[in-house]
Amino acid sequence: MMNFEKKLPEIAFVKTPSSADTAIIALYDDKKLTKSAALLDKEWDGLLSHHLETSEKFKAETGQMLTVTLPKKAPYVRLVLVGLGSKSKATPDGLEAAGGGLASNLRGAGCTTATFLNADDLKTKSGNPVISLMSGFLLGSYSFDEFKTVEKNKKTSPAKTVEIVATAVKTMEKEFATAKDVVSSIFLTRDLVNAPPNKLYPESFAEIIKKTLTPLGVKVQVFDDKALEKMGMGCLLAVGQASEHLPRLVIMSWEGSGSAKQKSQKPLALVGKGITFDSGGLNVKPFEGMLDMKMDMGGAATVVGTMHALASRKCKVPVVAAVALAENSISDEATRPSDIVTSYSGKTVEVLNTDAEGRLVLADALTYIQKKHDPAFVIDLATLTGAIMVALGVNHCGAFVNDDKLWKNLEKTSHATNEKLWRMPLDSSFRKEMDSEFADIKNIGSGRMGGACTAAAFLSEFIDEGRTWAHLDIAGVAMSKSKPTCPVPFASGFGVKLLNKLVEDHYE
């Protein structure tokens, strides 16, 4: 089994620095040295002032860096000046990107240990930017070399230790601990999405969930194919019946750590699509369309990562999650176009396109989570449609939400985390397109137009009347091109920050 416990670089908060090979000093775009930096400048005979005056290109904009080689007698080999941009306009997201850039800078320089010398001087009314900067540093340290042998150590490793010199050590440690837990959870999500499909399939995915979440106090229940058949989960079974790796439904329950009143409230529910590989089934995908399909379990990965984050910080309220795991494969056992299957809800579905399979597995999981747990709300996440990328590109997640209050909470959290959402329409006209001549509903619309909306309309058929629900189509945002906080250009880990903060800010 793959190792999903990544060792993060150590971020240590200290009052007195120990020896290191690199010094870090941050400054805002006025390029004024802070109090402690000015003292160092004096100690180093004006070296910092000299470089700031003579380096015209260095404007101390957010994420901009200037590396200075120090004299032989200096206590460090090099100094990295990190720009934070405008003091009044600095954002957590921009600072995280700067931290990711710092990780890349130190990796390229061969740094193993570093000391951040002026953290105390950077505080603003809205907090200390060093927390966001170091969160970005950790995110930027991500790698995925599980299957490398010859080239595994070719790239320089990220700095192993960064010391933050501060006076309020305990306070900063406590504040950073939560951020570190979220980073670990994002790494878990990224690792799951990046894992190859011959290693991550329904059975192994379920085992990884048990192994990873059970020690944190999450109750994990796994339903195998035989149990699913007895339960009548016809949609989930239909998607996975062609594969030697048969489907699984995994339920994760966190009872909450708060007061008796908090623990007794209705749970919040998360549901994730977990297609561990999507060939398209008998409606087989073209070569180019199949290349990235190991990521079709991105919704399930985000749900698992979110449960990891909630349990790690001892979330006060109960949360229950379901991931429907299947491999959409091809064989003589495969579901055929025009087959009619009976869902767990009892409704019949005409399968006209076997490549519209994600909505099928979600239908059974959504029904189960409502029937068995009666949640306060349901949020599902799925790499559901290519159509959402046509509509919104790859920086915004399409959000289909049937409740204005939930949408307002999601929107606020989206702005706070910079995990961008855009509200999409849930309209009866899209549901009408899903009418079938032969069953209760068909799994594709009448044409290519509005594909993300008709997919959401299909899911709405399996949401109880009056149930608060949001569907997040993460097909565009689950993958990422290389950027400072995501140096491995595939899995982004989108959604973990969003959902963790949504629960923290609005439901605890």
- Alpha-carbon dihedral of residues 23, 131, 475, 415, nearest 10 degrees? -130
Which distant-in-sequence residues (6+ apart) come within 8 Å of 101 by Cβ? 63, 65, 136, 140, 484
Q: What's the rounded Cα separation, in Å, for the pair 120 and 132? A: 14
Q: Which of 48, 61, 55 is nearest to 95 (CA)?
A: 61
Residue with tokens 């994420």: 63
Q: What values do phi and psi take at 379, rounded to 5?
A: -120, 120
* DSSP-derived pairing of the beta strands 113-116 and 161-165: parallel
Q: What values do phi and psi take at 389, rounded to 5?
A: -75, -35
Residue 107 catalytic? Answer: no
H-only helix segments in 313-386: 358-373
Instruction: State the catalytic residue, choosing from 107, 190, 359, 431.
Output: 359
User: Do 365 and 271 meet the contact criterion of CB atoms below 8 Å apart?
Assistant: yes
- Alpha-carbon dihedral of residues 38, 41, 46, 51, nearest 10 degrees? -90
Which distant-in-sequence residues (6+ apart) come within 8 Å of 333 by Cβ? 241, 242
Q: What's the rounded Cα separation, in Å, for the pair 86 and 77? A: 29
Q: What's the rounded Cα separation, in Å, for the pair 158 and 114? A: 11
Q: What's the rounded Cα separation, in Å, for the pair 296 and 432? A: 27
Q: What's the rounded Cα separation, in Å, for the pair 199 and 144? A: 14
Q: What values do phi and psi take at 245, rounded to 5?
A: -95, 95
User: Do 324 and 364 meet the contact criterion of CB atoms below 8 Å apart?
Assistant: yes
Q: What's the rounded Cα separation, in Å, for the pair 99 and 121? A: 17
Residue with tokens 């056992």: 333
Report the b/e string of 371-392 with b at 16+ CB within 10 A.
eebebbbbbbbbbbbebbbebb
Instruction: State the catalytic residue, choosing from 199, 285, 420, 423.
Output: 285
- The H helix count followed by the E strand count for the chain is 17, 17
User: Do 495 and 419 meet the contact criterion of CB atoms below 8 Å apart?
Assistant: yes
Q: What's the rounded Cα separation, in Å, for the pair 212 and 372? A: 24
Q: What's the rounded Cα separation, in Å, for the pair 487 and 201? A: 25
Residue 423 catalytic? Answer: no
Q: Which of 368, 385, 355 is nearest to 456 (CA)?
A: 385
Residue with tokens 């959504």: 366
Q: Catalogue the active-site residues.
A: 285, 359
